[in-house]
Amino acid sequence: MALKKFNPTTPGQRFKVISAFDTITTSTPEKSLLAPKKKSGGRNSEGKMTMRYLGGGHKQKYRIIDFKRDKEGISANIKTIEYDPNRSARIALVAYADGEKRYIIAPHGLEVGTTINSGLGVSPDIGNSLYLSEIPFGTVIHNIELRPGQGAKMARSAGSYAQLMTRDGKYAILKLPSGETRMVLQTCKATIGMVSNTEHNLERSGKAGRSRWLGRRPRVRPVVMNPVDHPMAGGEGKSSGGHPRSRKGIPAKGFRTRDKKKDSNKYIIDRRKK
């Protein structure tokens, strides 16, 4: 996975660093796995703006991703590695032996022509989906289920991964990308390897226009707003803005907002780092 830098021929090119797209093998998606994607512009059903700084952007279609990997006992062959505008990771088109095609999130190092499997008794190779009860200790995994059969919920973005530390009773103990250590049922599935496009965090758009292509409108800093619009706004000249907090008054920079009575607290062994 390589990055591409540009000569500063224009102000927008000067700091631009983008993916070289060298791992992508086709630019034409599988038509049967596309779905329409409507854009709200941040408005609800009444036309009222409920999310700020959204709107515009290039027209996109959603790629239907198989997060469940529930075709067990049937081998699949990797046909293509593709770009997905809906996520930071790359996706792979897999063709099963029975003729069905599906998209999966491509792990780092997965190549066209590789055979992958899912289910019980599968070897822990890159791209294979196994139950946590069968994955060796210390293995790097992604696409982790929180509940059996629910589909992958954790470690799905570019370059992210978790690690299986140990097992205790009916639970597997995982070290998650955030630094949190958590218990997950051993009957949940996970995929071997880390997510592709590992250098995504090093990319730089170079200009505001690239954000507009993605549907992101300019974000206004709270300290330059009027007092009616934000707790940190107002004042004469360049004011400090007071204590960092959200528009609704919730403090930022370390203030914990997780409910102390949340049911899933009992599964968390170590909280994520501040």
**pLDDT (0 to 100) of residue 88:** 97
Tell me: the pLDDT tens digits for 34-76?
999 999 999 999 999 999 999 999 999 999 999 999 999 999 9
Q: Domain map of the chain by residue range?
A: 3-201, 224-266
Identify the pLDDT of residue 242: 86
How do residues 112-165 score in pLDDT, each as one tens digit?
A: 999 999 999 999 999 999 999 999 999 999 999 999 999 999 999 999 999 999
What would the mean pLDDT of 90-106 be, rounded to a whole number? 97
pLDDT for 254: 87
Query: Is 3-201 a domain of CATH 3.30.470.20?
Result: no
* Average pLDDT of every residue of the chain: 95
pTM metric for this prediction: 0.92
For residue range 252-272, list pLDDT tens digits in order.
998 989 999 999 999 999 998
Whether residue 239 is predicted with pLDDT greater than 90 in this model: the reply is: no
Mapped to the 3 state alphabet, what secondary structure does the chain carry?
CCEEECCCCCHHHHCCEEECCCCCCCCCCCHHHEEECCCCCCECCCCCECCCCECCCCCCEEECECCCCCCCCCCEEEEEEECCCCCCCCEEEEEECCCCEEEEECECCCCCCCEECECCCCCCCCCCEEEHHHCCCCCEEECEECCCCCCEEECCCCCCCEEEEEEECCEEEEECCCCCEEEEECCCEEEECCECCCCHHHCECCCHHHHHHCCECCCCCHHHCCCCCCCCCCCCCCCCCCCCECCCCCECCCCCCCCCCCHHHHHEEECCCC
CATH of 224-266, one of 3.40.50.300, 4.10.950.10, 3.60.90.10, 2.60.120.10: 4.10.950.10
Q: What average pLDDT does this structure show over 6-11? A: 96
Question: What local confidence, expressed as pLDDT, does residue 1 receive?
Answer: 66
Percent of the chain with pLDDT over 90: 93
